[in-house]
Amino acid sequence: MNSTTVRNLLVRGMLAGLAAGVLALVVAYLLGEPYVDKAIAFEEAHSHEHEMEVVSRSLQSTAGLATGVLIYGVAFGGIAALAYCFALGRVGRFSPRATALLLSGAALLTVYVVPFLKYPANPPAVGDHDTIAKRTTLFFLMTVLGVLLAVAAVIAGKRLAPGLGSWYATVVAVLGFTVVIGLAYAFLPAVNEVPAAFRAALLWRFRLSSIALQITMWAAFGLVFGELAERLLNPKPAAIPTGTTVTASR
């Protein structure tokens, strides 16, 4: 794949990430923000310390939220486009559109679902301020581990395929990925800092809204980027106008 194609895919990936970010922003605002407000109300009701807001809550839930989600979408769209350039043709004989959807599903699994199952998202009022660095490090470590193990599983599956066949090689690779992730879950420290008085229903709904945001983001990216990549890599031949006579030159 030449540099011009890579650059064009990178631009399309960032545009697809921006489009996916817009849809994710709608989900975050409509589903996530009401639960954030309720969690903040809980924190204010149970805290004896009242800190002065540097940025107002209304600004956080509008411009701040939009900035964060859109930058996230563009950044991960660019990264996913570069990963797509590497994966295209190496993970199987899939079309550009199908490869984009497969990559989006893998990104959702490794970048979000794998770390989420061990260290799920929490709203405000959940978590000790003194342990935020530790919790961030553990989440990032789980994310990196998920990505590296997914890459290792793909490589192992391709190497096992000639001897076991594609089906059994895929099963072995997936089982290996699952076992190692399970061991990581078992040995990495758990973090449970949910206050006893915090409503379980509120926590659960916040986490569901977080999952919905990520599914929206990566599903939209896969569909949009897949279409853009398909048009770039497999352009349709120009249609010949009706009634035009094509003459062959000798």
**pLDDT tens series, the chain, 250 aa:** 678 888 999 999 999 999 999 999 999 889 888 888 888 787 777 665 555 666 676 777 778 888 888 998 999 899 999 988 888 877 767 888 898 999 899 889 988 999 999 988 887 767 667 778 888 888 899 999 989 998 898 888 888 888 888 888 889 999 999 999 999 999 998 888 777 777 888 888 988 999 999 999 999 999 999 999 888 887 776 555 565 555 554 4
Model-wide pTM > 0.75:
yes
User: Around Cβ 134, how many Cβ atoms within 10 Å?
Assistant: 12
Distances (CA, A) of 95 to 1, 89, 116, 223, 225: 15, 9, 30, 13, 13
Residue type for position 188 = L
